[in-house]
């Protein structure tokens, strides 16, 4: 049986794609082995969001070649898409595949492995992705060692932010057909996954190419799947939140009470230079309307600090705006010039030490915001899906502060990271990946401590029994 090994860099979409590629290899009779071991085929799914992503991608390619110089080495992903010739020039690479052709990798590999010529030329299957209009279908009915399932619903982005290469690496928005999304959602729900995360390069842009069928319509259709318990939207732009979507969220029994809405900057002049499609006033109005319709909703966000032209005054105004919005958590990124983007050539680049100081200020604000939001949920009954053992000081299963007992940790529907001790007489494996009701007893700016109340073992709509998926694999 031939063997294949994978290494994935970058975002959740890349990890989803790798799972989809593996399903194709598995159907073709391959066995998966760890990337560090000798394999017949290595697949490196690369990232190019930053220059560091390029460098790490090259390192992993060379590591695969060193591990087995006779193997077929395949490079795909965003770095392969935007720098195919550069990747092909790396010694030992056999195949470079663009982001819109990942479903063809197994056939291309088999073709190479059948060749008699011991020194075949590097093959490149990379085209102009901006001309691609079809979604590259990769079905993933099951995830190895995952308790929550990602479901890719679209690819590409139409925004062309000045700091980002993604449209050139992923192309324009291409939405997965609704019937395909719904079919895979049913498979995942019947496999025992209690939470499905809708993901994509620009998730909120789903349906921009589907003649009026948008994300709100998809959420309405997902609501009708009886076995599906929880749906999370990975990210959505403020400009895509309209009355219909708010109405759907308000009615939903399954969509998580958490929305990740990237801000990127809290000042209009910086947003304009970024080519973001909203003002801070419009952004704040969307959050106000969401909170009015969905009391207690957790809103998380991304912020870039030190973008070219961000003065001390601009940053201070942005910091004040961010504080006013009362996010549940922030993801803070110091601006990193990306070769090939307009922003890399902008004047008024910000010094690294200034970026670091601003990053630390916003990270502290994020910690304060997480603690504040967690305290608002204290003593309330929350539902968490445990993902793994908690751990402290190298002791797997210990509580967040080294407490005795065996603790599990996971995310609530409103995205709090919660740990709780497994009750006496219960196996941790029986709770992992399942819906557990807990009550917060101690809050922090990181992991929240809770007490176990009960496990939700079925629903009125009927969950698949006995358990399948990841939990069953653990028990086996």
User: What are the extents of the domains in the chain?
Assistant: 3-127, 132-255, 257-376, 381-475
Over 50: is that where the pLDDT of 476 sits? no
What would the mean pLDDT of 322-326 be, rounded to a whole number? Answer: 98
Contact of 107 with 71, CB cutoff 8 Å: no
What would the mean pLDDT of 294-300 be, rounded to a whole number? Answer: 95
Distance, CA of 288 to CA of 281 (rounded, Å): 11
Q: Give the Cβ contact number of residue 119 at 10 Å.
A: 5
What would the mean pLDDT of 111-122 be, rounded to a whole number? Answer: 75
**298: closest CA among 261, 256, 328, 330?**
328
Distance, CA of 474 to CA of 476 (rounded, Å): 5
DSSP string, 327-369: -SEEEEEE----TTSGGGG-SSPPPHHHHHHHHHHHHHHHHHH
Give the CATH number of domain 257-376; options: 3.30.750.200, 3.40.50.300, 1.10.3720.10, 3.50.50.60: 3.30.750.200
Q: Give the Cβ contact number of residue 449 at 10 Å.
A: 21
What would the mean pLDDT of 37-57 be, rounded to a whole number? Answer: 95
Contact of 40 with 71, CB cutoff 8 Å: yes
According to the model, what pLDDT value does residue 392 have?
Answer: 59
What would the mean pLDDT of 400-410 be, rounded to a whole number? Answer: 91
Q: Give the Cβ contact number of residue 121 at 10 Å.
A: 8
Contact of 384 with 411, CB cutoff 8 Å: yes
Q: Which helix (H) or strand (E) holds 7?
A: strand 3-8
Fold of 132-255: Transcription Regulator spoIIAA (3.30.750)
CA angle 84, 87, 92 (to 5 degrees): 135
According to the model, what pLDDT value does residue 474 have?
Answer: 26
What is the share, in percent, of the chain residues with pLDDT greater than 90? 87
DSSP string, 232-289: EE----GGG--HHHHHHHHH-SSB-SEEE---B-SSHHHHHHHT-S--HHHHHHHHHH
Contact of 64 with 91, CB cutoff 8 Å: no
Q: What DSSP character marks residue 405? A: S
For the chain, what is the mean pLDDT?
92
Backbone phi and psi for residue 359, each to the nearest 5 degrees, phi listed first = -60, -45
According to the model, what pLDDT value does residue 143 have?
Answer: 82
Over 50: is that where the pLDDT of 468 sits? no
> Tokens in use for 212?
């009026």
Residue 77, helix vs strand vs coil:
strand
According to the model, what pLDDT value does residue 176 have?
Answer: 98
Architecture of domain 381-475: Beta Barrel (2.40)
Domain 132-255 shares a fold with domain 257-376 = yes
The 10 Å CB-count burial string (b at 16+, else e) for 378-397 is: eeeebbbbbbebbbbeeeeb
According to the model, what pLDDT value does residue 394 have?
Answer: 55
What would the mean pLDDT of 352-369 be, rounded to a whole number? Answer: 98
What would the mean pLDDT of 350-374 be, rounded to a whole number? Answer: 98
Distance, CA of 265 to CA of 273 (rounded, Å): 10
| pTM for this predicted structure | 0.92
According to the model, what pLDDT value does residue 212 have?
Answer: 95
Helices first, then strands: H and E counts in the chain? 15, 20
Handedness of CA 377, 379, 380, 384 (dihedral sign): positive
According to the model, what pLDDT value does residue 117 have?
Answer: 58
What is the distance, to the nearest Å, from the Cα of residue 315 to the centroid of all Cα atoms in its chain?
28
What's the number of CA atoms in the CB half-sphere (13 Å) around residue 209?
A: 19
Among the ranges given (79-83, 296-300, 364-368, 403-407), the one the predictor scored with the smallest mean pLDDT: 403-407
According to the model, what pLDDT value does residue 132 have?
Answer: 96
Over 60: is that where the pLDDT of 267 sits? yes
Over 80: is that where the pLDDT of 469 sits? no
Q: What DSSP character marks residue 229? A: -
What would the mean pLDDT of 120-148 be, rounded to a whole number? Answer: 89
Q: Is the peptide bond before 443 cis (omega within 30 degrees of 0)?
A: no
What would the mean pLDDT of 376-389 be, rounded to a whole number? Answer: 94
Architecture of domain 3-127: 3-Layer(aba) Sandwich (3.40)
Distance, CA of 231 to CA of 246 (rounded, Å): 15
Over 70: is that where the pLDDT of 45 sits? yes
Over 90: is that where the pLDDT of 329 sits? yes
What would the mean pLDDT of 103-114 be, rounded to a whole number? Answer: 94
Over 80: is that where the pLDDT of 26 sits? yes
Q: pLDDT category, 466, cuts 50, 70, 90?
A: very low
Distance, CA of 382 to CA of 73 (rounded, Å): 46
What is the distance, to the nearest Å, from the Cα of residue 119 to the centroid of all Cα atoms in its chain?
38
* CA distances (Å), origin 475, targets 145, 187, 449: 12, 21, 26
What are the tens digits of pLDDT across the range 190-236?
A: 999 999 999 999 999 999 999 999 999 999 999 999 999 999 999 99
What would the mean pLDDT of 333-346 be, rounded to a whole number? Answer: 95
Distance, CA of 383 to CA of 381 (rounded, Å): 7
According to the model, what pLDDT value does residue 475 have?
Answer: 30
Contact of 181 with 189, CB cutoff 8 Å: no
227's CB contacts (< 8 A; 6+ apart) are 186, 189, 190, 461, 462, 463, 464
Q: Give the Cβ contact number of residue 170 at 10 Å.
A: 26
């Amino acid at each position: 049986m031939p063997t294949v090994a994978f290494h994935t860099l970058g975002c959740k979409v890349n990890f989803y794609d790798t799972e989809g590629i593996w399903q194709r290899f598995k159907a073709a009779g391959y066995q998966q082995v760890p990337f560090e071991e000798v394999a017949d085929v290595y697949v490196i799914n690369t990232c190019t969001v930053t220059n560091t992503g390029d460098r790490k991608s090259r390192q992993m390619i060379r590591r695969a070649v060193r591990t087995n110089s006779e193997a077929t080495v395949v490079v795909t992903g965003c770095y392969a898409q935007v720098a195919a010739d550069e990747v092909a020039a790396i010694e030992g690479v056999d195949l470079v595949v663009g982001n819109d052709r990942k479903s063809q990798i197994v056939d291309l590999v088999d073709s190479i492995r059948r060749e008699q010529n011991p020194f075949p030329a590097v093959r490149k299957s990379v085209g102009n992705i901006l001309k691609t209009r079809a979604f590259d279908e990769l079905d993933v009915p099951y995830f190895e060692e995952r308790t929550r399932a990602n479901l890719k619903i679209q690819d590409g982005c139409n925004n062309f932010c000045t700091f980002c290469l993604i449209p050139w690496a992923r192309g324009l928005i291409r939405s997965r057909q609704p019937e395909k999304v719904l079919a895979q959602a049913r498979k995942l729900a019947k496999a025992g996954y209690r939470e499905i995360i809708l993901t994509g390069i620009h998730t909120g842009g789903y349906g921009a190419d589907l003649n009026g069928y948008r994300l709100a319509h998809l959420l309405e259709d997902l609501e009708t799947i009886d076995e599906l318990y929880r749906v999370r939207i990975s990210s959505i732009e403020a400009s895509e939140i309209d009355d219909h979507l708010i109405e759907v969220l308000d009615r939903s029994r399954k969509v998580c009470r958490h929305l990740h809405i990237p801000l990127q900057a809290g000042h209009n002049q910086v947003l304009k230079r970024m080519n973001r499609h909203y003002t801070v006033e419009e952004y704040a109005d969307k959050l106000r309307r969401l909170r009015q319709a969905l009391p207690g909703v957790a809103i998380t966000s991304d912020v870039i600090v030190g973008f070219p032209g961000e003065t001390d005054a601009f940053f201070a105004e942005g910091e004040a705006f961010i504080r006013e919005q009362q996010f549940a958590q922030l993801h803070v990124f110091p601006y990193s010039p990306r070769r090939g983007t307009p922003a890399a050539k902008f004047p008024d680049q910000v010094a690294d030490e200034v970026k670091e100081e601003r990053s630390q200020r916003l990270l502290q604000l994020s910690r304060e915001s997480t603690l504040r939001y967690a305290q608002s949920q204290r003593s309330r009954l929350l539902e968490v899906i445990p993902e793994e053992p908690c751990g402290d000081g190298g002791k797997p299963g210990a509580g967040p502060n080294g407490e005795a007992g065996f603790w599990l940790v996971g995310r609530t529907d409103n995205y709090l990271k919660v740990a709780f001790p497994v009750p006496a007489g219960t196996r941790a494996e029986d709770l992992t990946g399942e819906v557990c009701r807990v009550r917060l007893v101690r809050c922090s700016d990181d992991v929240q401590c809770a007490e176990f109340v009960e496990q939700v073992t079925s629903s009125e709509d009927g969950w698949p029994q006995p358990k399948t998926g990841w939990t069953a694999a653990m028990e086996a």
